[in-house]
């Protein structure tokens, strides 16, 4: 048994997977062999779910079946929605409220005779996450929840439930593309969390709840909100973005949206989102965040950060895209979860096909022996 310590499990292989591959040296991401760029531009999120869950891009009939399955499962029990409203009133963060609500869903699963079927239960969770998030946001705004519309796509229906208005084509396509881009990414921290939980043969509600918790942190999915907070900080400072970022670097600050455990070059998803941001900024005429983000990236490149392998990741440009769509900042990470739930479900399903309990070890650095002293003598 090897005693080599791999801090943060860097580079450790713990499973085989056919789902997605990240080539961090050249900046390439594929889902089951399909390049992320082609999927982002050519496939809907529902097509990507079919690819991840069922192994192939769907035929028209298969896609219609999956769309109908998801649309039929969008409604969320009133008890769960009432808890969501309570959490919104109490000032809970949306990511925390989502974690609580997903955990609660297991009590209202509907028992379709498929108890323990990861794909069936996973599809139900995937269908309900947008409803939960939209209801949370509406409650915060003092508005009634909007019922899901089964005729709209996964992306379009979320935007509709959020605003009460059917989205235009550009918003729906942009949001759908963002969902596709975030759906899966190898054994990232939240997927690994879901897998560890799944490897004990716990239910998929537990895996997804754990995945949401892991994704919320600032080193992982939470970074998309941090990027937007940084951009506001730059703006509020009245400084030029380059001056601001130079000061931040001098003060030893980590730059959110930069750096990645696997990518040593710019994340291909960041390229696609940057391009999308450029299109949105050009058509709206509001180029502020585009100017700030690109100025920061150029400065960090000149400073040699990118050469050192600390390059823009998926979180660097996504927030500015969501902002252009009028989405509040603290929904960015829950939206990441809304997409990544598809990947979590796919990985748990795949892993459990040939399951082995995941149980690594820590090198013990405590004392060899210690003499026990009873409480009354301490």
Ligand X SMILES: CC(=O)SCCNC(=O)CCNC(=O)[C@H](O)C(C)(C)COP(=O)(O)OP(=O)(O)OC[C@H]1O[C@@H](n2cnc3c(N)ncnc32)[C@H](O)[C@@H]1OP(=O)(O)O
Ligand Y SMILES: O=C([O-])CC(=O)C(=O)O
Enumerate binding residues for ligand Y (CB under 6 A).
Answer: 185-186, 188, 261-262, 313-314
Size of the site for ligand X (CB under 6 A): 17
Choose one: 35-43, 82-90, 220-228, 284-292; the region binding ligand X (CB under 6 A): 220-228
Nearer to ligand Y, 295 or 358 (CB): 358
CB of 219 to ligand X, least distance (A): 4
Minimum distance from residue 272 beta carbon to ligand Y (Å): 13
Q: Which helix (H) or strand (E) holds 34?
A: strand 34-35
One residue of 54, 261, 271, 288 binding ligand X per CB under 6 A: 261
State the Cα–Cα distance between residues 94 and 251, nearest whole angstrom: 31
Element (H, E) at 23: strand 20-23
**Partner touching 120 among ligand X, ligand Y, none, CB below 5 to 8 Å by kind:** none
Quick one: which of 58, 210, 241, 256 contacts ligand X (CB under 6 A)?
256
Per-residue buried b or exposed e for 339-373, using 16+ beta carbons within 10 Å of the residue's own CB = bbbbbbbbbbbbbbeeeeeeeeeeeeeeeeeeeee
CB under 5 to 8 A by kind: which of ligand X, ligand Y, none does 262 bind? ligand Y
Nearer to ligand X, 58 or 268 (CB): 268
Report which of 138, 114, 137, 128 is spatially closest to residue 208, judged by C-alpha positions.
Answer: 128
Site of tokens 């963002």: 178
Residue 145 or 300: the one with the smaller Cβ distance to ligand X is 300
Q: How far is the CB of 315 from ligand X (least distance, A)?
A: 5
CA angle 264, 333, 52 (to 5 degrees): 70
Taking the least distance from each CB to ligand Y, the nearer of 137 and 297 is: 297
Determine, following the binding rule CB under 6 A, whether residue 71 of this chain makes contact with ligand X: no
Q: In this structure, are residues 362 and 150 in contact, taking their beta carbons and an 8 Å threshold?
A: no
Q: Exposed (0-12), middle (13-18) or buried (19+): which is 119, by Cβ within 10 Å?
A: middle
- In the region spanning residues 4 to 33, those forming contacts with ligand X, defined by CB under 6 A, are 8
Identify the residue among 72, 107, 201, 219 touching ligand X (CB under 6 A): 219
Report d(CA 135, CA 184) in Å as an integer: 25
Question: Smallest distance from the beta carbon of 333 to ligand X, in angstroms?
Answer: 10
Contact 20, 31 (CB under 8 A): yes
Q: How far is the CB of 184 from ligand Y (least distance, A)?
A: 8
Shortest Å, Cβ 333 to ligand Y: 12
Number of neighbours of residue 289 by Cβ within 10 angstroms? 23
Name the residues annotated as catalytic: 260, 315
**Residue sitting closest to ligand X (CB):** 259
Partner from ligand X, ligand Y, none contacting 99, C-beta within 5 to 8 A by type: none
- By CB under 6 A, which span of 125-133, 197-205, 258-266, 283-291 interacts with ligand X? 258-266
Strand partners, 21: 30
Of 157 and 180, which CB lies nearer to ligand Y in the complex structure?
A: 180
Residue 254 interacts, among ligand X, ligand Y, none and using kind-specific CB cut-offs from 5 to 8 Å, with ligand X
Interaction between residue 310 and ligand X (CB under 6 A): yes
User: Please, which of residues 222-251 interact with ligand X by CB under 6 A?
Assistant: 223
CA gap 30, 32 in Å, rounded: 6
- Closer to ligand Y by Cβ: residue 74 or 182: 182
The answer to whether 40 and 181 are in contact (CB under 8 A) is: yes
Q: Whats the size of the chain, residue-wise?
A: 378
CA distance 144 to 162: 10
- Within 10 Å of residue 217's Cβ, how many Cβ atoms? 14
157 in Cβ contact with 146 (< 8 Å): no
Residue 290 CB, nearest approach to ligand Y (Å): 22
Q: Are 289 and 231 in contact (CB under 8 A)?
A: yes
- Residues forming contacts to ligand X in the complex (CB under 6 A) are 8, 219-221, 223, 254-261, 310, 313-315
């Amino acid at each position: 048994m090897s005693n080599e310590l791999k801090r943060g499990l860097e580079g450790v292989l713990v499973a085989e997977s056919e789902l997605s591959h990240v080539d961090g040296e050249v900046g390439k991401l594929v889902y089951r062999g399909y390049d992320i760029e082609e999927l982002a531009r050519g496939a809907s999120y529902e097509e990507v779910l079919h690819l991840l869950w069922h192994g192939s891009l769907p035929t028209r009939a298969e896609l219609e079946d999956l769309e109908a399955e998801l649309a039929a499962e969008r409604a969320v029990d009133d008890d769960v929605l009432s808890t969501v409203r309570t959490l919104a009133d109490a000032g809970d963060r949306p990511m925390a409220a989502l974690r609580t609500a997903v955990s609660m869903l297991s009590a209202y699963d509907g028992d379709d005779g498929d108890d323990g079927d990861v794909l069936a239960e996973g599809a139900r969770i995937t269908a309900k996450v947008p409803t939960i998030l939209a209801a949370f946001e509406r409650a915060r705004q003092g508005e009634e929840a909007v019922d899901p519309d089964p005729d709209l796509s996964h992306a379009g229906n979320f935007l509709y439930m959020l605003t009460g208005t059917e989205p235009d084509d550009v918003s729906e396509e942009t949001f759908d593309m963002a969902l596709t881009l975030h759906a899966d990414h190898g054994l990232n921290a939240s997927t690994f969390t879901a897998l560890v939980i799944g490897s004990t043969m716990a239910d998929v509600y537990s895996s997804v709840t754990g995945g949401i918790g892991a994704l919320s942190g600032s080193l992982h999915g939470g970074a998309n909100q941090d990027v937007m907070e940084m951009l506001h900080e730059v703006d509020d400072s009245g400084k030029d973005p380059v001056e601001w970022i130079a000061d931040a670097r001098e003060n030893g600050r980590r730059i959110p949206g930069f750096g990645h455990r696997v990518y040593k070059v710019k994340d291909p998803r960041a390229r696609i989102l940057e391009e999308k941001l450029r299109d949105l900024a050009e058509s709206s005429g509001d180029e502020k965040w585009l100017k700030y983000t690109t100025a920061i990236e150029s400065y960090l490149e000149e400073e040699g950060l990118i050469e050192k392998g600390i390059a823009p990741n998926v979180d660097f440009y996504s927030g500015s895209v969501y902002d252009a769509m009028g989405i509040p900042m603290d929904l960015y990470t829950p939206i990441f979860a809304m997409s990544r739930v598809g990947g979590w479900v796919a990985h748990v399903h795949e892993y459990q096909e040939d399951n082995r309990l995941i149980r690594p070890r820590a090198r013990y650095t405590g004392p060899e022996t210690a003499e026990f002293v009873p409480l009354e003598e301490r």
